[in-house]
Structure 1
Amino acid sequence: MTLSQLKTRDTDRGVPAVPRPSEPAHIIKDDAEAIAVAKKLAADFAPGAAIRDRERIWPVRELDQFSQSGLWSINVPKRFGGPEVSYATLAKVIEIISAADSSIGQIAQNHLGVVAAIRTVSDEAQQRLLFGEVRRGTRFGNAFSEFGSKRAVDFETRFTDHGDHVVVNGQKFYSSGALLAHLVPIVALDDQGRAWYAIAERDAEGLTVIDDWSSFGQRTTLSGTVILKDVKVPKTHLVPGYKGYEVPTADGAIFQIIQVAIDTGIAQAAIDETIAFVRTKSRAWVDSGLEHAWQDPYTIQAVGDLTLRLHAAQALLEKAGYAIDRAIATPNADTVAEAQIVTAEAKVLSTEIAIAATNKLFELAGTRSTLAEHQLDRHWRNARTHTLHDPVRWKYAILGNYFLNGEKPPLHAWS
């Protein structure tokens, strides 16, 4: 059985690594091309999204297309041969892909975040080495979060220094993209309790990725448990991630804006499905006196409301992208706080519209929209799962403290 045919969880053994691409990835030339390539890929990804979700078929072909398209290197700086597009463009790319298949959109999330972190904290030699990998089409997965810790920032995974390399031990979960990654950045603590990215080869001895992701949503994000037993990582691939949060940088906002883009993509897909179903399959209500469901004034009002709220979230998403660009160009407490705040605003609205649009779909489309053949429940399941990544109720507190008391947001990957 090939990887692309795998439909069930393999919890008994680790999943074998995939080889690096045999041909170098395309390099995007500018922002306009990035959007155009994303739209072309989305048109190809969308038709198979429902069956991949239903059967839990890994998007092997689609992921190869995605990473080879050049879109996985769009935030590599120009001085290292990358496109360095605006983060407003990067967010739009992720939104477009996520509207087609939100699991595929999420797979790129941590890769792009790690690329941003390397730009912030690595020295020039390490940047040249790792950005070269990214430009060739190498995919980063992730092994960040841990299942049993008290808080998301509490890590038990550690490494020990062995001269020219370190040895990592621990266990991870929520490891989006790790199954089909080429390199796996592992968040591990040194003897001072500082968090680094130890970027290991996916097929490194002692690194095992188990296909045990069982969530009801985002089912094909290639996540699972990562077991790390005496995994060797050369110091050339040891990135001091903690430095990105010792002083104000845009690193946290970058991780967050990608989350926002996934959710606006889910909302866009749900609204598009609602419109298509109401226009072609739904029946007018018996008391309406109307011939077609799309003539219903209450449905018209609801679609208008959903679209307006989506556009508001998208506008803040774009604004956040430009704020991140400014924070990267001129990093200081004020520019970084602005990027964090606008991104937090976008996160609130994107969460609300993703949940609202995926829920309203069934009310407006009617009972037949719940039939299994349409697979429309995947949008709600995806929205409900992905929006749990970090609690929006805390975003309101961050916003209130900033505007009322002048308190800047905390510096970490969730802010």
Structure 2
Amino acid sequence: MTYTQSVQATEPVPLADDSPARILERARRLAEELRKGESERDRHRILAWEPLQAFRQSGLGALQLPREHAGADVSMATLAEVTAILAEADASVAQVALVHWSAVGLILHSALPARRPFFIERIQQGDLFGNASAEGPKHVAGFVQSSLRHEHGRYLLNGEKFYATGVQYSDWFYVPAVFADERRFVFLPTRTTGVTVFDDWTGIGQRTTASGRVTLDDVVIDPADILQAQGKGDGSNERLSGLAHVLHSAIELGIGRAAVRDTLGFIREHAHPPRGSNAQAATEDFFTIRAVGEITLLDEIAEALVQRAAAQLDLAYAELTEHAAVDALHKVCHAKIVTEQFALTAAQRLFELGGTHSALEEHNFSRHWRNSRTHSLHDGTRWKYFTLGNRVLNGKKPDPFTLGYPFTDIG
């Protein structure tokens, strides 16, 4: 089915005078709002129209904009922490925000200079940007069959995308397409002739990202919205890829934190000591306490690696060299591996420490594992190990297709 709900205009809260501390506090206030009803939205797949309207109004969609454009010009470290805060509250909303922020990064660093002010104004006004990249489960990663052609003075876009995270909620979205045997990124309004968005996402996790199919039938494209997709030899591809994948790691961090939060609450309020334990309460059981210590340590390590990767990416954007960008990607690999381990382990420990009662459907604790497992499939960790090993053993820089080529699979 196609979607019919429209997005209401909103007036975002300005960001320009906010410090990083106030930005994080703003994110925490939004997270409190997102957490209300999050489990029910997951259970019944109630699309997150209202939570994303709250995201628009928060002004956080403009975090990366320069201060002269009513943004906050935040560091990657701050953006990553904001992402983790939102992901702890609602992993689906955070995923849509990730796609939006990735699009903003693409606009700021790759859009045509004449068109950039227009998109900056739209971001200031709270417009949401989605992404439609993947072209089906049978295609090789990075394969693009969608086509852009010039005919009778018009640029026409055709194709079908397998899942398109954020598009259903968005005002604009972008797609990779082939024009004259070269790859391009194309920005276009979501509600335009020839675009059909299908509400057919059935993933077991992140159920309300609305990552359905998109078909493109002779969509007329403004030539100003066609971007080059080729690297410039200065690390631009690596930086854009690093931005998306740092935020992916932050989402895993947030999902893991949500599982830890529910684990601690359930142990304190509902769990009983396991059989064989002499403890009078679950909070006094030796092995329970030890397991909580283990997962707390993994949480700290995961957070530290995300912050380290984000700091290296900030350096890469400051230096604008391929060497700095490649170093950032390797730090991203460390963060992605460990944050995924943390999220999946924390989700599993919840049931181990909570006992049989924690498996009741009424608690819906399975969503943490489902969210992490589904999200992690966007970006295969097994290739992260390969990337790290290939550098140490053979001195090879990352292969963009195995690490995650910029914006081919970030939904």
Counterpart selection for 2:216 from 203, 208, 228: 228
Are the aligned partners of 2:146 and 2:176 in contact in 1 as well (CA < 8 Å)? yes
Matched to 1:111, the amino acid is H
| Mapped partners of 1:58, 1:166: distance in 2 | 33
Are the aligned partners of 1:74 and 1:85 in contact in 2 as well (CA < 8 Å)? yes
Aligned length: 401
| Mapped partners of 1:158, 1:70: distance in 2 | 34
Partner of 1:23: 11
SS in 1 for 2:169: coil
**Which deviates further from its counterpart, 170-179 or 30-39?**
30-39
> Which runs of structure 2 are paired with 1:21-100 in the superposition (5 Å)?
21-24=9-12, 26-28=14-16, 29-78=18-67, 80-100=69-89
> Which runs of structure 2 are paired with 1:389-408 in the superposition (5 Å)?
389-408=378-397
SS in 2 for 1:211: coil
| Mapped partners of 1:95, 1:42: distance in 2 | 10
1:246-301 C-alpha deviation (Å, 9 max, x unpaired): 54121110110111011000000001111100010001123212110011110111
Residues 1:307 and 2:300 are matched in the alignment: no
CA spacing shift, 1:284–1:251, aligned 2, 3 Å: same
CA spacing shift, 1:299–1:396, aligned 2, 3 Å: same
Give, in angstroms, the shift of residue 124 of structure 1. 2.2
CA spacing shift, 1:330–1:411, aligned 2, 3 Å: farther
| Mapped partners of 1:66, 1:336: distance in 2 | 30
| Mapped partners of 1:306, 1:24: distance in 2 | 37
Partner of 1:201: 189
Counterpart selection for 1:133 from 122, 147, 165: 122
Give, in angstroms, the shift of residue 333 of structure 1. 1.8
Partner of 2:201: 213
Matched to 1:231, the amino acid is V
Matched to 1:367, the amino acid is T
Are the aligned partners of 2:200 and 2:212 in contact in 1 as well (CA < 8 Å)? yes
Matched to 1:414, the amino acid is G
Give, in angstroms, the shift of residue 410 of structure 1. 2.5
SS in 1 for 2:145: coil
Are the aligned partners of 2:234 and 2:320 in contact in 1 as well (CA < 8 Å)? no
The TM-score, its normalising length taken from structure 2, stands at 0.93
| Mapped partners of 2:20, 2:226: distance in 1 | 31
The TM-score, its normalising length taken from structure 1, stands at 0.92
Counterpart selection for 1:368 from 357, 369, 394: 357
Are the aligned partners of 2:92 and 2:208 in contact in 1 as well (CA < 8 Å)? yes
Partner of 2:252: 263
| Mapped partners of 1:358, 1:151: distance in 2 | 31
Counterpart selection for 2:230 from 243, 247, 250: 243
| Mapped partners of 1:24, 1:272: distance in 2 | 30
Are the aligned partners of 2:235 and 2:325 in contact in 1 as well (CA < 8 Å)? yes
Residues 1:387 and 2:376 are matched in the alignment: yes
Are the aligned partners of 2:14 and 2:70 in contact in 1 as well (CA < 8 Å)? no
Partner of 2:94: 105
Matched to 1:157, the amino acid is S
SS in 1 for 2:37: helix
Matched to 1:70, the amino acid is G
Residues 1:334 and 2:311 are matched in the alignment: no
Are the aligned partners of 1:17 and 1:181 in contact in 2 as well (CA < 8 Å)? no
Are the aligned partners of 1:25 and 1:136 in contact in 2 as well (CA < 8 Å)? no
| Mapped partners of 1:105, 1:307: distance in 2 | 22
Are the aligned partners of 1:20 and 1:138 in contact in 2 as well (CA < 8 Å)? no
1:86-135 C-alpha deviation (Å, 9 max, x unpaired): 00100000100000110110011111111111222223222211111111
CA spacing shift, 1:129–1:369, aligned 2, 3 Å: same
> Which runs of structure 2 are paired with 1:282-301 in the superposition (5 Å)?
282-301=271-290
CA spacing shift, 1:297–1:222, aligned 2, 3 Å: same
Partner of 1:7: none
Partner of 2:408: none
**Which deviates further from its counterpart, 310-319 or 80-89?**
80-89
SS in 2 for 1:141: strand
Q: Percent identity?
A: 33
CA spacing shift, 1:164–1:226, aligned 2, 3 Å: same
Partner of 1:5: none
| Mapped partners of 1:84, 1:46: distance in 2 | 27
| Mapped partners of 2:367, 2:397: distance in 1 | 37
Matched to 2:230, the amino acid is K
Give, in angstroms, the shift of residue 20 of structure 1. 5.6
1:355-401 C-alpha deviation (Å, 9 max, x unpaired): 11111110111000000111101111111111111111110111112
Give, in angstroms, the shift of residue 24 of structure 1. 4.7
| Mapped partners of 1:316, 1:282: distance in 2 | 32
Are the aligned partners of 1:117 and 1:244 in contact in 2 as well (CA < 8 Å)? no
| Mapped partners of 1:40, 1:121: distance in 2 | 32
Give, in angstroms, the shift of residue 345 of structure 1. 0.4
SS in 1 for 2:168: coil
1:47-93 C-alpha deviation (Å, 9 max, x unpaired): 31100000100111110111221111111234544221000100000
Are the aligned partners of 1:255 and 1:414 in contact in 2 as well (CA < 8 Å)? no
